[in-house]
């Protein structure tokens, strides 16, 4: 339980600071100790505690971008269903390596956009792009419990206000989690649920969020956006590394 408390605290401190990332910390680290499918399914309940806590705090300060939120959620629903089905049916090692490299590439692209190097090919505020990035994020969420980077990169480029960015992301993640729980139940994934992780989440997640939100409020907007880009890049490498560790571990 001590390991779970520490991982949940660090993951949700990071998510409160940047707006995303708890799922990658939780799944990436705990999957090295516990059954990966158990971690992916159980982390849905853990992260629901976090997103609801963050939503209550953020909605007092900033309204979401309802237009982009609607299209992101619309795209994510079929993605979550496909990912949940795939989680139950296939071995994940190769897919996780591909996903890790894809997330790394997204982070590198976003960092170059934020630095001005690729400003001419920055993403535009578009319903079609929101649906596409929502679908990819939903698929990653259903499959490996870490669907944040695709919608993060999209919103990081089309929403300038940090508060609106975080609020929109948090409500999107809450929707993702609720659909994940529903589809896990439909596809038989609920057999991997470990309720004890929920108790650890109640103890560690709220204080982590409070600390992360306070510290992130002191960072200038331009610096914050570059931190988000760099975080996506680094987390992509971590996902790839975790997949390689799982592949090399004794069966």
Instruction: Tell me the residue range of the domain where 179 lies.
Output: 2-248
Number of folded domains that form the chain: 1
- Evaluated on CA atoms 186, 95, 140, 41, the torsion sign reads positive
For 221, list phi and psi in degrees, rounded to 5: -55, -45
Mean pLDDT of 125-153: 87
Whole-number Å distance between alpha carbons of 28 and 18: 18
Mean pLDDT of 11-29: 83
Does residue 208 contact residue 16 with C-beta atoms inside 8 Å? yes
Does residue 137 contact residue 147 with C-beta atoms inside 8 Å? yes
- Model confidence at 131, pLDDT cuts 50, 70, 90, reads very high
- Model confidence at 211, pLDDT cuts 50, 70, 90, reads very high
- Model confidence at 53, pLDDT cuts 50, 70, 90, reads very high
Range of weakest confidence among 83-87, 105-109, 155-159: 83-87
State the pLDDT at residue 46.
Answer: 84
The closest of 201, 232, 208, 207 to 47, measured between CA atoms, is 201
Mean pLDDT of 197-214: 88
Range of weakest confidence among 38-47, 67-76, 171-180: 38-47
pTM above 0.85, yes or no: no
């Amino acid at each position: 339980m001590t390991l779970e408390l520490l991982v949940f605290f660090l993951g949700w401190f990071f998510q409160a600071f940047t707006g995303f990332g708890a799922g990658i910390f939780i799944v990436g680290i705990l999957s090295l100790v516990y059954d990966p499918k158990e971690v992916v399914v159980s982390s849905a309940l853990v992260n629901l505690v976090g997103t609801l806590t963050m939503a209550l705090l953020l909605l007092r300060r900033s309204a979401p971008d309802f237009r982009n939120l609607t299209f992101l959620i619309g795209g994510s629903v079929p993605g979550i269903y496909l990912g949940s089905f795939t989680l139950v049916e296939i071995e994940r090692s190769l897919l996780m390596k591909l996903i890790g490299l894809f997330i790394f590439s997204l982070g590198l692209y976003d960092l170059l956009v934020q630095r001005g190097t690729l400003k001419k090919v920055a993403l535009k505020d578009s319903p079609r792009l929101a649906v596409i990035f929502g679908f990819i994020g939903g698929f990653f969420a259903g499959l490996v419990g870490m669907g944040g980077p695709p919608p993060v990169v999209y919103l990081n480029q089309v929403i300038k206000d940090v508060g609106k960015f975080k609020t929109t992301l948090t409500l999107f993640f809450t929707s993702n989690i609720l659909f994940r729980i529903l589809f896990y139940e439909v596809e038989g994934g609920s057999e991997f649920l470990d309720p004890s992780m929920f108790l650890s989440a109640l103890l560690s997640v709220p204080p982590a969020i409070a600390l992360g939100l306070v510290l992130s409020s002191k960072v200038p907007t331009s610096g914050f956006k570059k931190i988000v880009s760099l975080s996506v890049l680094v987390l992509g490498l971590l996902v790839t590394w975790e997949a390689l560790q799982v592949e090399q571990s004794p069966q």
